[in-house]
Structure 1
């Protein structure tokens, strides 16, 4: 049950932020200091922040709703969010860049990955036999 709730919350956050960034990509300039300088740049922001975030959210929603997809959703979160966390923390330390946006993202990403590992250990049926 806790995995379903966790994935449902992740789905709402990812899909909400993704749809917002798809519709309002210029909002990223104020929030994250990321701005497009061309139509190609705007499409890139909409695709990466809008499309990818929404797709990850949809996978989390599927995992929350259908048991056979839970493991896939959790493993996806480990790779996607884990990759963001490792790079963001590493570059934050290398560049001494700890803006409010980065600190929030580092905290969210690190806690999310730790929670996913905990959920996978807590529910061994979600871990495939090797």
Structure 2
């Protein structure tokens, strides 16, 4: 189950990262986020494209090296709790409900819960 979950996460994050690194304007279509300058596009490429690809790379390392599994599952738990918290804040403070918001929130809450549950089963690597 752990390897399947990590593989799924690596694919999801890589897909998001590749699309938004190449086409940051895609965010406007489904999330209403518009880049109106080159600097804004570069920021979207970095924070949505580059960061998502970095998460995908770290997750892929956990598929290759067992010692990465605990830190990567922990990273996903923390990352998804933070994303879900921010999204819930926007939902209540800004009335930002949309199909995109609910879909992303479902992924984030689901991933956070699965990651937290898996942390109980994954052994941290031994310190040297």
TM range (shorter): over 0.9
The two structures, once aligned, show a CA RMSD in angstroms of 1.7
Instruction: Answer 1 or 2: which has greater helix percent.
Output: 1
Per-residue Cα deviation, 1:59-111 (whole angstroms, up to 9, x for no partner): 11111221000011111112211101011112212333210010001111001
* TM-score, normalised relative to structure 2: 0.92
Structure 2, gaps ≥5 residues long: none
| Aligned-pair CA distance for 1:125 | 1.8
- 1:36 & 1:125 partners in 2: Cα distance? 42
- Equivalent residues of 2:67, 2:125 under 8 A apart: no
Structure 1, gaps ≥5 residues long: none
CA 102–6 in structure 1, closer or farther in 2 if over 3 Å, else same = same
* TM-score, normalised relative to structure 1: 0.91
Matched, 1:8 2:7: yes
Aligned residues: 127
Moved over 3 A (4+): 126-129
